[in-house]
Amino acid sequence: MPVISAQRIPVARNRWIAQGIHLGLGALHRVLHPGAPPPQPSLAPIAAAAEEVTHLLVLRLDGLGDLILSTGFFPALRQIFPRARLTLAVARWSVGLARLLPGIDTIVPLDAPWVVGGGAATWRTLADTVRDLRRRRFDLAFELRGDFRNILLMRALRARWRAGLAITGCDFALTHVAPVGDNHHSTCLIAALVNSLAPTRPFDLRPRLDLPPALRQAGRDCLRAHEFGEPAGGGRWVVLHPGARWPGRQWTIEGYAALADRLLAAGHRVVITGTPDEAATTAAVVARMQRSPLVLAGKTDFPTFLGILGTADLFVGVDSGPMHLASAIGTPVVALFGPAHPAMVGPRGPHDQTVFHGDRFPCSPCAQTVCAHPGRSCMTAITIDEVWAAVCRGLDRLPSPLRA
């Protein structure tokens, strides 16, 4: 029987479904490909044939945060396969970030319906993209999540070698499998793949995003354009990002409003950010506040948003792409978790903090869409006082500001 990761598929019913798909498609695979060898339990043979790899594909079709946690993977691939042209396939919301990653030759937008949703048009676009990628005749393809749906998609691309992880089933569609331990955090999965490729070579796999100076300047210019000057005395710049793509990850509007008011009363500057789709959430936070923050939700492009994150002294938000962006840039974060476990997808920066009560709730971790227990959930269990305490700890760890 396949090993189905409870970390990757937290809902028991969905694990049973994944197991059934594995068994059914595995039987069909054996009928269609009699005598096909099982996947090799190591990626080292691929690395030994690195000179034969000239076209390389990486599938990272999930969230923006998942791509950020993978940033250390691409420089390692460059060193292991120096002759390869590297193509990265990502969901549409990750294209802007992918363009900032060094060493990527080609970026392919690929919206998997099981990730982005959508109807028949999304499936037709996926089929067109698969046909295009198949024509490129990749020597090697990687799937970084260990998602059986992505593995089956990668099989359809007909790459010579297909490398991945056997943690949600359908690994029969791979040619090589990297062994993994019990911790299936995204960074641990990346480490497992790289260590299986080159077990004796050291690589720095920490999530990191090096912002060009021009982007940091764009962030400062944006703040100046809104007459948002330097905080007085020992004040800091704090970014609050109340939005969440999945409603189940959302903290309370009242909590964000109270936190922003406390920060402003303490002499700090508060910048509230968000996407255009999150403008209503931002407006609800501001409506409950007693003081006036700077609201930039929906008012900046992606590069300027990165510059603002790079300028901030602290970021506060939930389990989200912006939170992982801030951490990768080097801005300390206070991350609020509940539906997902921080041991699975939490930030890994040296000064990052998480606030988490999911262990008190038998339904956590969950599918993270809409909470079945509104008003008494793992997210509403997070109090303003404990978030304020984490924020104060984060600010106290910073060196003394130099103000003109």
Instruction: Round to whole Å and give the CA distance between 320 and 379.
Output: 14
* Domain 213-396 bears CATH identifier 3.40.50.620: no
Q: How far apart are CA 11 and CA 190, in angstroms?
A: 23
pLDDT of residue 404: 33
Q: What's the pLDDT tens digit per position in 326-377?
A: 999 999 999 999 988 888 888 988 999 999 998 888 888 887 777 877 777 8
**With the CA atoms of 282, 287, 291 and 294 taken in that order, what torsion angle do they form, in degrees rounded to the nearest 10?**
30
Two domains, one topology: 12-197 and 213-396: yes
Task: Please report the pLDDT score of residue 399 as a whole number.
Answer: 75
Task: Give per-residue pLDDT as tens, 161-170.
Answer: 999 999 999 9
Neighbouring residues of 382: CB distance < 8 A, sequence distance ≥ 6? 251, 255, 336, 338, 355, 357
The token pair that represents 123 in the structure block: 């499936």
Domain borders along the chain are 12-197, 213-396
Per-residue tokens: 152 = 């089956």
User: For residue 59, what are the β-bridge partners?
Assistant: 89, 143
pLDDT of residue 119: 87
Comparing CA positions, the residue from 115, 112, 141, 138 lying closest to residue 125 is: 112
Residue 124 pLDDT more than 60? yes
Higher pLDDT, 132 or 247: 132
**Average pLDDT, stretch 203-209?**
92
Residue 400: pLDDT band by 50, 70, 90 thresholds? low
Mean pLDDT in the chain? 91
User: Is the Cα torsion angle 51, 57, 63, 64 positive or negative in sign?
Assistant: positive
pLDDT of residue 109: 97
Written out in words, the top-level CATH class of the domain with range 12-197 is: alpha beta
* Other beta carbons less than 10 A from residue 191's beta carbon: 20
Q: pLDDT at residue 317 above 90?
A: yes
Q: Tokens 């490129």 — which residue? A: 136
Span 253-292, pLDDT tens digits: 999 999 999 999 999 999 999 999 898 999 999 999 999 9
